[in-house]
Chains A and B, each alone.
Chain A
């Protein structure tokens, strides 16, 4: 039975952290869920979308995180329960509304789930979203394992309703994407009726207009709420302690670092010497609870990822209570015991612990690590990051690169967020030269495109994907058109939010729940904005290159070039080969050709390989998806394509 519909209390399922969060929301009776896809958060909305019919939910992939948060807030204002999920960068996008929402307060239980990515495994930064809780004065919960992920998600709705404000649940990659056993609770049977009441006094936050003003009044209310939260957190079962009554060292931690620390204590066998205070409620910190534990010893270590959020807040509490609890020695990020960049792991915690406790335990010696890598890499081929076989981005970047080379004026491309962020690597022929936030490529291009009066004569291009276009490119494009910035935006339209797993977006005819939806036509939008628009199939390399060169030549205004070709991994394309590819060995001249192995050295599709013995190019039948593009790059016309019957 699916964990989504299993209503047997106490039954265990093996759940991914994100599934556990979704289950928790279902147990809380969530009505509306919204979000924007982004690793490692996407599975929360996807999971809820799967039972939208059965559980009578409304689930949507919103245009961007700010809109998603507004959609969820509307449900809360109508006294429904709502959840909004995003990755850490999404919090930045949503934060403008979040500030106002926190001041205004919520009605039905409302939870924001943010999934951070320490170490930037799937991100272009390792942003830290915990600070939003402190900055906006709202509660923050951090699950320390998978059971907690489920329990916390559920409880967060209750807390939200109790204090009438939004609650943040913060996960990280290793919680969201790892799996563990989770005992289920009962699914909610409550039916809620949606109604937005606004007739009460403006100062009333439950049945009056939903506003963040008058600020003085609302801010006072908000601070009363957060004080109440601190009291609630004093008794929270999500804060746990394991260890002796008077430990030599007290470790305070949260989130997945809880698991790393447990493992490190176990590895070193220092259970009798070390106490572990795991906090699940990390903003506001419960002061009495902390005072109690800080009093037990003089040495405190804080284990956390990214910024020293806990460390600094605990130090403030310790300073305030110094007279009673005495002076402490702190170990953490500030003194260098714990690395300030990247993910943690048990080994890094062992290293810090063994230094403080002088256990003499050697974490994995660097020598061993090197030997291990050396012996592994003998059999592992050297593989860089690359686009998939048949990926339209390879074809698009090939043509963009060649157009810019031929144009010969040192033109450049401002990159954006999606698989095509790899345009800066050799698989994208090192074509993109900037990479920042969603939509920033077009915004930067808009600025670069106005620098002609200062002597800049380089052609300025930007790329963006179809989903990114709707998310954050549109305002930047409006800006470029309105200011007559001389740029060419190439929309790499692969018909889906491909990098995160083909979530639908406003350009498609289906929504998150699988229902038919009106699609918004990117070309028409751009034309309406006043841009010159051309559309092509990027698999036509020379035609694409030609059109792009022509567009770049235009001296004024915004040109939009839409390259439309579905992602090679999209459900429609998968396992559907358009062409059978083969190398005509009589035509491939190998090293004697003079092409200097253009196909495998430069084009580098994983479906093309070089047979050293035959001194010929080969098609890797397993990897090739039969897109046919490589047949147009071979100067000897040795790569043959035949339509699959």
Chain B
């Protein structure tokens, strides 16, 4: 699994027992930032005065000399014990299924009570968060807003504010800095809408890695977003601004396959299409090592649905996820129906392909140790080479 991408470096450079020396900012700097593995998820932002996010990149302002830190322990790009997390959240060890652990896969869309906003696809995420905030299942939600093309983390308490954050962002966002803010402000039932790396970090945080005796899980619901990659903001912005005036953009979309285009909608109804081939060189280096398409450590995961642009794919993984989804459906916020078998097959194959690409890449770059490669290969349903 690619979240262990830095394992070889740890094994190669740190003698057993010395590892504690590196479990702070210096470790992150050496193993993640300098290794270009960071995807700017925001997990380390707002925990201390040192890490900051700027235009999609995480930077350390000054060196910190502490030996340990949440920054290191919450980072999804440092070695992660997937068995431990899987045991904790799903009651079984990690088995390498392309979709992760789940109860059911459904399709869904927002129902009447949500009203209509400029949703991406079926508006499932907005519908569930709106419902959960309104009914008090959540006391706040971590979402991602947008300023031009720049994703902006937001902590939302008013259900109506959910609709200002609709639509996908395609460049890396430090969304989890808003989670850290919400926790600091004392919220205890926080909804988190996050990409796979962000969901993994949230799972790490929820596993209380520093053994804090007073720890209570501050989250109420984790909604994972399907993700194949995120773009490096700066070159992406330059790429787009060379073609259109960013101030005029109303929406950016990548429709599900077989479309192979990024669509940029402009004020006045104009739309330009950019082939994904041209966009791919702008993908963050760290994303190419990621083997998680469906945010495997969420309560529920949501993505587009092939062939039905007004519907979402909905993976239900945990009891608390199932409960809120059922309530939302019952009260008229969400429409749910069964996933066609063919779609499920395609989904599994897409997720499996992401896993395979990541492992091949990691193998090529020599980032994974032989031991870990063997472990993943043996367990995985899809990885054969």
Contact = CB atoms under 8 A, between A and B. Distances in A.
Query: From DSSP, what is the main secondary structure of chain B's interface residues?
Result: loop
Contacts of B64: 596
Contacts of A405: 52, 59-62
Given A549-B54, A633-B49, A635-B49, A594 B59 contact: no
B138 to A, nearest CB: 27
A190 interface: no
B65 interface: yes
Interface in A586-602: 594-596, 598, 601-602
B136 to A, nearest CB: 30
A639 to B, nearest CB: 12
A440 to B, nearest CB: 28
Contacts of A549: 54
Interface in B50-82: 50, 52, 54, 57, 59-62, 64-66, 69-70
B66 A594 contact: yes
Most chain B CB within a 10 A radius of its CB, from A401, A594, A635: A594
Nearest to B25: A596
B54 A596 contact: no
A408 B62 contact: no
Interface centre among B52, B59, B62, B66 (most CB of A within 10 A): B62
Interface residues of A, number: 16
A401 B59 CA distance: 12
A240 B103 CA distance: 104
Interface in A517-553: 549
B62 A406 contact: no
Contact of A602 (B59, B62, B69, B70): B62
A283 to B, nearest CB: 52
Contacts of B57: 408
Nearest to B53: A406
B14 interface: no
A77 interface: no
A429 interface: yes
B59 A596 contact: no
Nearest to A599: B49
Contacts of A52: none
Contacts of A633: 49
B65 A596 contact: yes
B266 interface: no
Contact of B49 (A407, A408, A595): A595
A429 B63 CA distance: 11
B47 interface: yes
Contact of B47 (A402, A408, A594, A601): A594
B48 A595 contact: yes
A595 B25 CA distance: 12
B369 to A, nearest CB: 30
B49 A598 contact: yes
Interface residues of B, number: 16
Nearest to A407: B54
Contacts, number: 38
Contacts of B62: 405, 429, 598, 602
A594 B61 contact: no
Interface in A552-609: 594-596, 598, 601-602
Given A407-B54, A633-B49, A596 B61 contact: no
Specify the main secondary structure of chain A where it touches its partner.
helix
A333 B54 CA distance: 56
Given A406-B59, A594-B69, A596-B66, A635 B48 contact: yes
Nearest to B56: A408
A401, A549, A635 pick with most chain B CB within 10 angstroms: A635
A429 B47 CA distance: 22
Contacts of B61: 401-402, 405-406
A489 B246 CA distance: 28
Contacts of B69: 594
Contacts of A429: 62
Nearest to B24: A596
Interface in B70-125: 70
Contacts of A595: 48-49
A327 to B, nearest CB: 62
B50 A406 contact: no
Contacts of A635: 48-49
A425 to B, nearest CB: 15
B285 to A, nearest CB: 14
A429 B66 CA distance: 19
A425 B59 CA distance: 21
A406 B48 contact: no
A595 B52 CA distance: 14
Contact of A596 (B48, B52, B70): B48
Nearest to B54: A406
B181 to A, nearest CB: 12
A278 to B, nearest CB: 54
A601 B69 CA distance: 18
B171 to A, nearest CB: 15
A188 to B, nearest CB: 60
Contacts of B50: 596, 598
B59 A408 contact: yes
Given A594-B69, A602-B62, A406 B49 contact: no
Interface in A610-645: 633, 635
Nearest to A634: B49
Contact of B48 (A401, A408, A594): A594
Nearest to B238: A555
A580 to B, nearest CB: 24
Contacts of A596: 48, 50, 64-66
B56 to A, nearest CB: 10
B246 to A, nearest CB: 13
Contacts of A402: 52, 61
Interface in A369-415: 401-402, 405-408
Contact of B54 (A408, A594, A598, A602): A408
Contacts of B48: 594-596, 635
A510 B49 CA distance: 43
A420 B327 CA distance: 63
A110 B70 CA distance: 70
Q: Which of A596, A598, A602 has the most CB of B within 10 A?
A: A596
B226 to A, nearest CB: 29
A14 to B, nearest CB: 49
Interface string B150-182: 000000000000000000000000000000000
B166 to A, nearest CB: 27
Contacts of A408: 54, 57, 59
Contacts of A407: 54
Contacts of B59: 405-406, 408
Nearest to A636: B49
A602 B70 CA distance: 20
Given A401-B61, A405-B52, A635-B49, 6 more contacts: A405-B59, A407-B54, A408-B59, A598-B62, A601-B65, A635-B48
10 contacts: A401-B61, A405-B52, A406-B52, A407-B54, A429-B62, A594-B69, A595-B48, A595-B49, A633-B49, A635-B49
Q: 5 tightest A-B contacts by CB?
A: A406-B54, A635-B49, A596-B64, A405-B61, A602-B62
